[in-house]
Amino acid sequence: MRVFPASLLVLALGRAAVGADPATAVYNHACAWCHGKDGRGDGPAAFSINKYLSPRPRDFTRGLFKLRSTPSGQVPTDDDLLRTLERGIPGYMPSFRGLTAGERRLAVTAVKGFFPGFATAHATPIAVPPPPPADAAAVARGREAYAAAGCAACHGERGRGDGPSAPALRDSDGLPTGPLQGRCGAGRPLPDPHERARRHTHAVLRLGVR
Ligand code: HEC
Ligand code: HEC
């Protein structure tokens, strides 16, 4: 009987899945398709997601995260990671609101397990002061800050993503970042409780360049 060995294999795989710890089990069901069983961003679905364009599904073993309330170079807080899962990353990753809160926490545990730096890190959110009033003076200061920091080199004089450096931009793996136009605040999950302040800062910057 030819199907017999195949059914044995299925049984064996089933046992292995049951044997996995709860965090790994949730991760394998919900995340491994894109992020890979070992967290290296090389799951079966990752092959067809943006294969030649940034961003690819994140390789968690590098400990590099964008959506953080923490300073540059630090790992995100658990709340940052939970927020990323709840909101998803529009255009790149689905929201996992459909999982229970407990399952989302287990997924966060699994993500942190791929990078040893999480065990020793003391992730501390940046204190964002309350936003200034969005008056003409603030807009003028925003315009100055935008010019002084050289944002226009990539984002363009008017924030349209058409600065001279934009076409050649590549990520740390050498993949092109694609058009910047419309990327500014395009529904990315901004961390609470600073979200309002940050959105406001962006609005002022945007107003300042239009
Ligand atoms: C359909 C594919 C897909 C699935 C499924 C998926 N992700 Fe992602 N994920 C991505 C992509 C693509 C990125 C990179 C997006 C970017 O850099 O803007 C990403 C980025 C991330 C990041 C990095 C955010 C940051 O701060 O830089 C985390 C954390 C993450 N995913 C967690 C998860 C977890 C946990 C699961 C399972 C519950 C999951 N993802 C399932 C595609 C996926
Ligand atoms: C070297 C090129 C470069 C410079 C200079 C630059 N940016 Fe960006 N910026 C990018 C790229 C690339 C992205 C998209 C990153 C991504 O999608 O992961 C981006 C994204 C953003 C976003 C959207 C973030 C999000 O989560 O959606 C904002 C807002 C932004 N930049 C503001 C600024 C400001 C303000 C300055 C100046 C202080 C600046 N940038 C300077 C390349 C640049």
Return mean pLDDT, the chain: 81
Report the alpha-carbon distance of residue 155 to residue 51 in Å, rounded.
24
Of the listed ligands, the closest to the CA of 57 is: 1
- CA distances from residue 208 to 69, 84, 119, 156 in whole angstroms, order as listed: 24, 29, 42, 13
The model's pLDDT over 100-154, given as tens digits with 9 standing for 90+, comes to 999 999 999 999 999 999 999 888 899 888 888 889 998 899 899 999 999 999 8
Q: Where are the domains of the chain?
A: 6-119, 136-206
Confidence band, pLDDT 50/70/90 cuts, at residue 47: confident
Top mutation candidate among 24, 28, 58 for ligand 1, by most atoms within 8 Å of CB? 58
Nearest CA to ligand 1 atom 18: 55
Instruction: Tell me, using a 6 A CB cutoff, whether residue 184 lines ligand 2.
Output: yes
Least confident of 66-75, 131-140, 157-166, 189-198: 189-198
Map residue 170 onto helix, strand or coil.
Answer: strand
Structure tokens at 110: 């699994």
Position 15 scores a pLDDT of 45
Rounded distance from Cα 186 to ligand 2 centre (Å): 11
CB 113 within 8 A of CB 23: yes
Rounded distance from Cα 57 to ligand 1 centre (Å): 6
Structure tokens at 170: 């590549």
Rounded distance from Cα 36 to ligand 2 centre (Å): 27
